[in-house]
Each structure stands twice: as structure tokens, then as C-alpha cells.
Amino acid sequence: MIELRTPAEIEQMRPAGAFVGAVLTELASRAAVGVNLLKLDAIAHDMIRARGAESCYITYHPSFGASPFGKVLCTSVNDAVLHGLPHDYRLRDGDMLTLDFAASVDGWVADSAITVIVGTPRPQDARLIDTTTRALDAGIAAAQPGGRVGDISAAIAAVALADGYSINTDFGGHGVGRTMHGDPHIPNNGRPGRGVHLDPGLVIAIEPWFLESTNKIVTDRDGWTLRSADGSRGAHMEHTIAITPDGPLILSARA
């Protein structure tokens, strides 16, 4: 069911968005050569406790997950692109790291993700991150009142396809509110003018993610982490936004 939020409720969602943005900003600054993924998860956990927030991940157990997630942060490295389960791994020079984080503050949820390069960047990785960032920007710009979900999907796809990347539509954006995932689903490819209306009050997460040389994914042995089928690297960017009469409002903006 699609729920529309009142202007007052959207204001109440701002603290969750600000918190999620602040956590990702802090974690991105801490992602350095030699840092353990479990340490990053611990930092996020400490920030949740200090804020009095609640994790959206730790007990999360959808049908596609092998077990409850058990951590508060997704850490996807190199050929992993989604749902990366933190484990005992120390970041290496040149690693590509996606941090995906969602939390509830005062009963409202925000969800966001960012991909960073640890240490020395490879040109092809920087290009993939740039494309994914521009696709997110294009998707947000297309999220205009009176439009349709397909407008967002088409805008994201146009950026990816122009840069030569293929698109997987198994996972994409989604509604956000009292829970992390809700209607509508927002695929990263689609036709403009189609799909659910973008009415003021709709709050959604827009999240383009692309792999360097495939659109096929496989599930890791941990039952959660999604990796490229050919071992190529992936990037993932996400923001929670609200549709307002004046246009899209980014709730999870980072410093």
C-alpha cells in the first residue's frame, strides 16, 4: 500500500534523514586501508545507541535473506554491490566500498548509500562511481510532482546506458516511512510516463546501482551479499527523498 505523508510528517522525518546522512559521512571518512569492516559496523552501532535510534537491519529477515541480517550496516566490497554482510576483512588499497545504512529515529525511517574508493583509485572505478552518482542526481531531478515512477527509472537508465553500463532491475528503489521498505518499487530502468503517480507526500528511496561489465548477480555463501556474476566491481548510490509541491526534497543529504 502506498502512503502519502503530510507536510508535518515530512518535517518529522528530517531527523532520521539527517542522522543517516551523518552516519554515512562519518563512516566514509573512517574507511581507510587496514580498517576492518566489523569496525565500521561497530562505529555505526555506537552512533545508533548514542542517538537513541533503532537499526533497520539487525533483525531484518526478508524472503531473500538466509537469516536475520545481524548487523546494522551493509558493507559491499569490490564485486559485491548490495546487502554486503560485514565480516572480518581489512580494507586494502584500491578497494571499492559501498556503505548502505538505514535507521529509524522517533519512528521514522531514512535509507541511504554511498560508494567510495579506499586509497588509490582505479580510473574505471572512479568512472563507475561518477556514473552512478549522476544517475542518482538524474533520478532525483525527475522526481517531480505530477510525474510518474517511470520518469525516475528512465532518467536513471539514460545515464547508465549512455556510459555503456547494463542494468539489473531485480532490486531498486522503494517507499520509505515507518518501515524501511514499502511501495512503490522503483526499478532502475523503465519508460517515462508509466507507473505510480508521484504525488506530493510520497517518500521514496532512489537507488541506482550498476556493475562494470554485467547485469547478473549471484548470492554469496553468507546468504546475503550480492556479487556480480563475472567478478566485476559495482557501485551503489541512494538517497531518501520526499515529493513536495515544490519538487523533490532530499532528506538524507550528507555534509
Mean pLDDT of all residues in 199-227: 97
Q: Is 207 assigned a ligand-binding role in the annotation?
A: yes
pLDDT at residue 76 in the model:
98
Question: Residue type for 213, please?
Answer: S
238 is in an annotated binding site: yes
Over the stretch 125-177, which tens digit does the pLDDT of each residue have? Answer: 999 999 999 999 999 999 999 999 999 999 999 999 999 999 999 999 999 99
Residues 101 and 112: beta-carbon distance below 8 Å: yes
Place of cell 539489473: 168
Please tell me whether 3 is known to bind a ligand. Answer: no
pLDDT at 64 over 90: no
User: Is 167:189 a contact under the CB 8 Å cutoff?
Assistant: yes
Give the start-to-end residue ranges of the domains of the chain.
7-250
Span 26-36, average pLDDT: 98
Query: Is 220 known to sit in a ligand binding site?
Result: no
Its CATH architecture, for the domain 7-250, is Alpha-Beta Complex (3.90)
Tell whether residue 111 is among the known ligand binding residues: yes
**pTM of the entire structure?**
0.97
